[in-house]
Structure 1
Amino acid sequence: MNDSLQGCFLIASPHLPDPNFFRTVVLIIHHDDEGAFGLILNRPLEQTVAEVWDLVADSDCSCRQPINLGGPVDGQLMALHCNPEAAERPIVPGVYFSLEPEELEQIVQEPQGPFLMFSGYSGWGAGQLESEMQVGGWLTLPATRELVFADQEKLWKLASERVGLEILAPMLKSAPLPDDPSCN
């Protein structure tokens, strides 16, 4: 697949009818002809990483940051982080994905920069995401480390503004704009 969205953000548009994705930003972890898999970046839950860690691991964890709902599909714990030593795969420069228990333990016990822990994920079957995009359900934006770890409450607005700038930038370069709007 030449036009993979891996490493891109999906920004939910107001035209997306699924309430699971209202004003969400999803980082696409994997995308090919068989479907897509991503994590919602701005759905923190009330449970902390430490509370969930106590249920799934034998070691202690004192991390009080919230765990995130990665999407409506149940799945094992996963993390986005900055530690290449504990990475299953790189997603974008400076951001790595992990789901193996040993890697997650290293991320939790010896954090090297910010990290996000997820319960659940977002998944699409073959052609499903492309269909949702064709009807205007999602906007796309190349992912950056800065936005992956940005303030979750502001993320949808920040990403939406960047998409708008990406759309407008080529037009602004090609057409000179007068200083006085009445000259249009």
Structure 2
Amino acid sequence: MTSTRGQFLVASPHLPDPNFLRSVVLMVQHDDEGAFGLILNRPTNQTVSEVWDIISDESCDCEQPLNLGGPVAGPLMALHTNERLSENEVVPGVYLSTDRDALDELVNTEFDPFRVFSGYAGWGPKQLDEELEVGGWLVASATIGMIFYEGDDLWKQVTSDIGDDIIYSAIDPRHIPYDPGMN
């Protein structure tokens, strides 16, 4: 098993599960016990403040969209860059928090950048490894810029980067002609 922790899983166009159609998942954990990650490109129509008003005695003014982290129910979670509020460093400089006090501080101070998630993507032991073997997912390096990317075409951006990496690794620079017209 090769761990995908701290990397992106990018849904292959051939992945049959509609929960993951064109999704980009940041992997938080991947070991012998299973795997879990957060879908980065599933904003909901609810704002963080709307949900916060339901679960907390205090309100907040955070108008950022709540993100659907995946089809598995779980606690609210946040990805952010504030090391002081971290419970787990997912990639260098990006942290995960589920602690209520940390989330309260994040949503009330709107420490930028951060994203709040409801739910997560989860896999049992070896389940993700099997999906990777059959080509259901592509794996890509996760970057802070893409983790907090706000455009609606994240899947397209990351798959384009994967394609570029494949092409560049296949090209022997000694065979690239000096004259671009010869291509």
TM-score per shorter chain, which class? Answer: over 0.9
What does the per-residue CA deviation read over 1:23-54, in whole Å, with 9 as the maximum and x for residues that have no partner?
A: 00000011101110000000000110000011
d(CA) in 2 for partners of 1:91, 1:174: 35
- Residue 110 (structure 1) shift: 1.8
2:171 is paired with a residue whose SS is: helix
- Aligned counterparts of 2:182 and 2:52: Cα–Cα separation in 1: 61
Unpaired segments of 5 or more residues in structure 2? none
Q: Deviations over 1:117-157 (max 9, x none)?
A: 00010000011111111111100111110000112411101
Is 1:43–1:152's contact at 8 Å kept on the other side of the alignment? no
- The percent of aligned pairs where both chains have the same amino acid is 52
Cα distance between partner residues in 2 of 1:45 and 1:96? 22
Superposed, 1:23-172 pairs within 5 Å as 23-172=22-171
**3-state DSSP class of the match of 1:42?**
coil
Please give the per-residue CA displacement for 1:96-132, whole angstroms capped at 9, x wherever unaligned. 1000101111111123211110001000001111111
Number of residue pairs matched by the alignment: 182
What per-residue deviation string (whole Å, max 9, x for no partner) do you get for residues 69-101 of structure 1? Answer: 000001110010111111111111221100010
Q: C-alpha separation between the residues in 1 aligned to 2:181 and 2:10?
A: 31
Determine the C-alpha separation between the residues in 2 that align with 1:4 and 1:152.
Answer: 28
Q: 1:98, 1:164 → 2: CA distance?
A: 32
- Give the C-alpha shift of residue 65 in structure 1: 1.1
Question: How far off its partner does 1:167 sit?
Answer: 1.4
Hey, what's the Cα distance between the residues in 2 that align with 1:182 and 1:174? 15
**SS of alignment partner, residue 29 of structure 1:** strand
Q: CA deviation at 1:181?
A: 7.1
Aligned equivalents of 1:9, 1:30: Cα separation in 2: 12
Contact 1:74 1:119 in 2 (8 A): yes
The change in CA–CA distance for 1:138 and 1:52 in structure 2 (over 3 A counts) is same
Give the counterpart letter for 2:170 in structure 1. M
Number of the residue aligned with 2:13: 14
**TM-score, structure 1 normalization:** 0.93
Corresponding residue SS for 1:140: strand
Q: Write the distance in 1 (CA, Å) between the matches of 2:111 and 2:82.
A: 6
- Contact 2:62 2:110 survives alignment (8 Å): no
Q: Point out where structure 1 has 5 or more consecutive residues left out of the alignment.
A: none
Alpha-carbon distance in 1 for matches of 2:103, 2:135: 36
